[in-house]
């Protein structure tokens, strides 16, 4: 696997240029860090990317210019910003005859939009789904980066399982997960790790605290890291010391629901159908009201992106999509269970990118 190949930026450039042929605008103005990284393969906190039919342009400042020129492929012209980004964009638009620019309406603030539109010679138009549709279908190097991030997370989990016992705090486990993922090569966290125990495990996005884990608790850990910007995402729920009969039953229902959703995940299946396959298992066991979120969401450069596997998602999945598989049951004031893997939709089904075991673990 090579997630730093200079050719990747050239490949994305060609794909964006091809998509532009059917668009209502002449070029795209990319200002968000995630989409800049998708288009160029280069990470930075500052910069502007412009792509039209004639080429790709990345304008960035002194902090990044040397690294950008080294890493970005030959299809892009990389220049250090002089004066303002708007002036440099205008120079390209005037030279290439660009009159309309697609912009990221879901990423640009109203204030930024007004500032850009006042400064630009070209008219700004919403980009709609041009980039998000391209990003939904992952190339092999993108899948490889997600897998690499997932393997790092799994190594961290194996270490942390050895540290779970009565008396340790949620914050300690969250900090240990973070440290291990970084130590094993993670670029950064996909999101702040969720580690909740006991009654708090009924909160799907609870925040780790100084609460000490007790004998008989469920501990739910939701975490991931990035490799070359691409995220991993996994959840495991374990018991401490022992699990009573209902805890074991609920865990088994969630696992069966997840397996049913995974079996339904294939090209052409809608997000609704995949979600329903899992949701029906939980509902038939009488816990329907306690599964309040969707079965899954897209994963890539953002931890939550399209497509989604949700009750209100009629769009079909396609080969190359990466989605989470994360049903759960949450009993307020008692406990909760969630099990999450990452799936890559293939030509005839899906590949589970997660290797971590899913049988109920009892930590001593």
Distance of alpha carbon 60 from alpha carbon 53, whole angstroms: 21
- CATH no. for 140-363: 3.90.230.10
Domain ranges for the chain: 7-134, 140-363
3-state SS class at 305: strand
Q: Write down the pLDDT at residue 5.
A: 45
- Tell me which fold the domain 7-134 belongs to: Creatine Amidinohydrolase; Chain A, domain 1 (3.40.350)
Give the helix ranges, DSSP H, for the chain: 7-20, 33-40, 65-71, 85-96, 110-119, 130-136, 140-161, 170-183, 245-264, 271-284
CA angle in degrees (0–180, nearest 5) for 195-185-301: 75
Q: Write down the pLDDT at residue 327.
A: 98
Q: Report which of 76, 93, 65 is spatially closest to residue 41, judged by C-alpha positions.
A: 76
* pLDDT digits (tens), the chain, 364 positions: 344 545 566 789 999 999 999 999 999 999 999 999 999 999 999 999 999 999 999 999 999 999 999 999 878 999 999 999 999 999 999 999 999 999 999 999 999 999 999 999 999 999 999 999 999 999 999 999 999 999 999 999 999 999 999 999 999 999 999 999 999 999 999 999 999 999 999 999 999 999 999 999 999 999 999 999 999 999 999 999 999 999 999 999 999 999 999 999 999 999 999 999 999 999 999 999 999 999 999 999 999 999 999 999 999 999 999 999 999 999 999 999 999 999 999 999 999 999 999 999 999 8
Distance of alpha carbon 278 from alpha carbon 266, whole angstroms: 14
In sequence order, the 6+-apart residues with CB closer than 8 A to the CB of 80 are: 59, 60, 61, 62, 65
Q: Write down the pLDDT at residue 316.
A: 98
CA angle in degrees (0–180, nearest 5) for 191-356-255: 90
Contact between residue 211 and residue 220 where contact means Cβ atoms under 8 Å apart: no
Q: Write down the pLDDT at residue 2.
A: 43
Q: Write down the pLDDT at residue 1.
A: 37
Q: Report which of 153, 190, 195, 154 is spatially closest to residue 171, judged by C-alpha positions.
A: 195
Q: How far apart are the first and last CA of the chain?
A: 38
Distance of alpha carbon 206 from alpha carbon 203, whole angstroms: 5
Could you read off the pLDDT of 119-154 as tens digits, one per residue? 999 999 999 999 999 999 999 999 999 999 999 999
DSSP conformational letter for 190: S
Contact between residue 38 and residue 131 where contact means Cβ atoms under 8 Å apart: yes
């Amino acid at each position: 696997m090579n997630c730093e190949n200079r050719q990747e930026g050239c490949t994305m450039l060609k794909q964006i240029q091809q998509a532009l042929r059917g668009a209502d605008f002449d070029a795209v103005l990319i200002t968000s860090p995630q989409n800049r990284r998708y288009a160029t393969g280069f990470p930075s906190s500052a910069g502007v990317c412009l792509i039209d039919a004639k080429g790709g342009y990345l304008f960035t400042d002194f902090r990044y210019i040397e690294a950008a020129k080294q890493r970005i492929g030959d299809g892009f012209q990389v220049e250090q910003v002089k004066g303002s980004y708007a002036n440099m964009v205008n120079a390209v638009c005037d030279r290439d005859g660009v009159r309309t620019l697609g912009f990221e309406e879901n990423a640009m603030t109203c204030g930024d939009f007004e500032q850009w539109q006042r400064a630009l010679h070209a008219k700004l138009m919403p980009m709609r789904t041009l980039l998000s549709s391209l990003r939904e279908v992952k190339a092999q190097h993108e899948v490889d980066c997600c897998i690499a991030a997932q393997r790092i997370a799994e190594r961290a989990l194996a270490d942390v399982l050895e540290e779970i016992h009565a008396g340790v705090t949620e914050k300690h486990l969250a900090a240990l997960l973070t440290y291990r993922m970084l130590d094993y090569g993670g670029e950064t966290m996909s999101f702040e790790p969720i580690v909740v125990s006991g009654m708090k495990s009924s909160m799907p996005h609870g925040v780790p605290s100084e609460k000490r884990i007790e004998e008989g608790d469920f501990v739910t850990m939701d975490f991931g890291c990035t490799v070359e910007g691409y995220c991993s995402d996994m959840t495991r729920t374990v018991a401490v010391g022992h699990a009573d009969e209902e805890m074991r039953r609920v865990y088994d229902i969630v696992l069966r629901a997840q397996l049913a959703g995974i079996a339904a995940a294939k090209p052409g299946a809608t997000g609704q159908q995949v979600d329903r396959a899992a949701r029906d298992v939980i509902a038939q066991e009488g816990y329907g009201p306690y599964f309040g979120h969707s079965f899954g969401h897209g994963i890539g450069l953002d931890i939550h992106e399209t497509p989604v596997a949700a009750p209100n998602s009629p769009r079909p999945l396609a080969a190359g999509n990466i989605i989470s598989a994360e049903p759960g049951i949450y009993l307020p004031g008692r406990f909760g269970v969630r099990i999450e893997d990452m799936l890559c939709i293939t030509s005839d089904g899906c590949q589970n990118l997660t290797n971590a075991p899913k049988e109920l673990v009892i930590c001593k």
